[in-house]
Amino acid sequence: MGGWIDSAAKTCAGSALRALVRLWPTESLEWGQAIATELESVDNGPAAVRWALGGVVVFAKALWKSFWNSLRRPLGVSRENTFRGAFGEAARGPRMPRWLTALLLAGTVVLLLRPDARMGAGEVLRSWSLVHRNPRNISGLAAIAKRAEQERDAATLAFAAMELGMESYCTGGICIPRYGAESVRLGEEAIALDPSFTWIYVNLLGWRADRPIPEQWVRRLEQWDPQNGVPHLLEAETIAREFRVQWKQAHPGMNFPFGRDGAKLLETQPAWLAAMGRAIEAPRFHSYMIRHSELNREVMRRKKIAKPTVAGFALAAHPLPQFYAVMRYVDVLLEQAGEAERAGDFNTAGDVYWRVAHFAEHLREQDQSSDIQTLIGADIQKRVYGNLETVLKKKGQFREAELVSYNLAEANRALKPQGHPKQPMWDAIVWSATLVHLCAVGIVLLATAAVLSMALLLSPARRWLSPWVRTTMCYVADFSPVLLLVCCGAFALSYHPFAQTFHRYLNDRHEITDLPPFMHSFIAPFFYGQTIIVALFGQHVFTVYFWWGVIAMGALVIAWMLIRMFRTRAADPAA
């Protein structure tokens, strides 16, 4: 019985050692062969097993030593083959050690796995598929809404009502709010739980001319916020839409005239004039964009939604008041004041001009959440201040006329394309967003080149390629990991300001009233096509050029060091 066991043990040990010899590194293969040969002289089974286990230990050490030695060799070059032996006499072999290649690729992976880099990569990839995907699509939004209903969470319900309505609104960068029955249901539930969210009626309506305006929503807004001119403007729009419908019915086949002709028709409607008058004279004129922003910040913090485009497009798609109606009503008031001025009634003319001027100041100063509203306020000031200055001089009020003249000059500066005080910041945002996308393109191209070149170097198929192709592949394999790491570092650095801006916006506990800079920084990395076009004509970008220069100089220094190293190794292949 013992002889049978010894024979079986020796057989198994011999089979194991022969299998190890087939896997043994070539530089120490003679050691493996010697160990397998010496097994024949072992007398009993236990001793054969111990000998085989010793052979496994030696094999592991040889394998580990071979692995470390291989890290010092370039890709595709074995211990037996030199550069020319592996790639041919006419081809240049790879020269970067495997350990350096692995280190560079590991650094690239670490950079891309950072939270800010992953967020930036997601934004860029979503922008590249703009036609096919909604940039604001939030995974699990329906589940979030369902849970909010169960928890009676009014804020999340209001957030979901507006986000669900926007899930399919963006195609090719065109933003058109489309709110359905589910959005309205969630919005009504949120308002019933917390009346402070009554303002979301403005978002659900969207100010679109092809959507009916429920009269009860307008009444609730006016009762909830009677000191704000926006609900009264919404009432005036409701009256105007009803009048346009009636006019089309009375004039079949004709379109309702716009511009001054349409305003003259609306002047015949006392209800429209009264509603517009209440909107103009209201103490405040807020579009609820700041409330919308604060709601998004609160819910995104709680639900951990780290997507800048969600915040950016929420602000960009927030419905603005019907400034077209405002401008038409301002035309009406200016004509009334002009008629009084021509009739010599300077007091009445001055009162009307001041009325318009105070409203324009409300537009510019009270709510700075929208650049459009600020610019419209400046345009109204430009139109009214010149006439008001003339009337004040005729009344002998020269000090007031000088103040109005100064305000007129300031309004003219605000309306100049490059006169806005935030223009340098916007130009810098444009250039930085362009750099983000250029780095992303570089990462994609270099990663593809690195994978293909390394696969060819490790494949026997490299022998089938012409010498100049093999030489090119070796250059790509040597330089692509370095350039890939540089591109990833540049991507992380260029997106870092956008990420920090988003984190500040999301985590700052104070109310943020100056929203346009945040909105621009959230959306700029997404709309890369427009960014590149605008960047070509931008100004005040010299500070950004500095960072471009730093990145370029760093890349040149690294390239110079590598070329020096490669030349040294080429002169001494045995090094």
What does the pLDDT profile of the chain (575 residues) look like in tens digits?
A: 456 676 777 778 778 878 877 877 777 777 777 877 777 777 777 777 787 788 888 888 877 777 777 767 776 666 555 444 444 444 566 777 888 888 888 999 999 999 888 888 888 877 776 444 454 556 677 888 889 899 999 999 999 888 776 544 444 444 455 567 788 888 899 999 999 999 988 888 765 555 667 888 889 999 999 999 989 988 888 888 888 888 888 888 788 777 677 777 888 888 988 999 999 888 888 888 888 888 988 898 888 887 887 787 777 778 778 788 888 888 888 888 999 988 888 899 889 999 999 888 888 877 666 777 888 888 898 888 988 888 888 888 888 888 888 888 888 887 776 545 555 666 677 777 778 888 888 888 888 888 878 877 777 666 666 676 777 778 888 888 989 999 999 999 888 888 888 888 888 777 776 776 677 677 666 654 444 444 444 443 434 445 455 556 666 765 665 565 445 444 544 44
Six-digit token string for 361: 């100041």
Is 411 in the same domain as 426? Answer: no
Q: Do 224 and 310 fall within a single domain?
A: yes
Q: Which of 525, 495, 533, 530 is nearest to 309 (CA)?
A: 525
Q: Considering the domain boundaries, does residue 278 fall inside one?
A: yes
402 and 260 housed in the same domain: yes
User: Is the separation of the CB atoms in 280 and 359 below 8 Å?
Assistant: yes
In a domain, 80, yes or no: no
Q: How far apart are CA 425 and CA 517, in angstroms?
A: 8
Establish if 467 belongs to a structural domain.
Answer: yes
pLDDT value, residue 530: 45
Q: Is the domain of 479 the same as that of 537?
A: yes
Burial 418-443 (b: 16+ CB within 10 A, else e): eebeeebebbbbbbbbbbbbbbbebb
Range of the domain at 527: 98-113+422-571
Task: For residue 318, tell me if it sits in a domain.
Answer: yes
Cβ–Cβ < 8 Å for 187, 194: no
Mark whether 365 and 339 lie in a shared domain: yes
Residues 502, 531 within the same domain? yes
The answer to the question of residue 133 being in a domain is: no
For residues 385 and 249, membership in a common domain is answered with yes
- Distance between CA atoms of residues 229 and 567, nearest Å: 75
Task: Please check whether residue 131 lies inside any domain of the structure.
Answer: no
Q: Last residue of some domain: 415, 436, 464? A: 415
Six token digits for residue 10? 């020796």
Domain assignment present for residue 84? The answer is no
**Minimal CA–CA distance to 322: which of 283, 358, 272?**
272
Same domain, 484 and 348: no
Domain count, the chain: 3
Which of the 8 DSSP states describes residue 199? Answer: T
Q: Are 449 and 480 in contact (CB under 8 A)?
A: yes
> What is the helix, strand, coil percentage profile of the chain, to 5?
75, 0, 25
Contact at 8 Å (CB) between 94 and 77?
A: yes
Residue 171 and residue 63 share a domain: no
Residues 549 and 438 in one domain: yes
Report the C-alpha gap between 113 and 125 in whole angstroms: 15
Question: Would you give the distance in Å from CA 466 to the centre of its chain?
Answer: 44
In a domain, 134, yes or no: no
Residues 104, 42, single domain; the answer is no
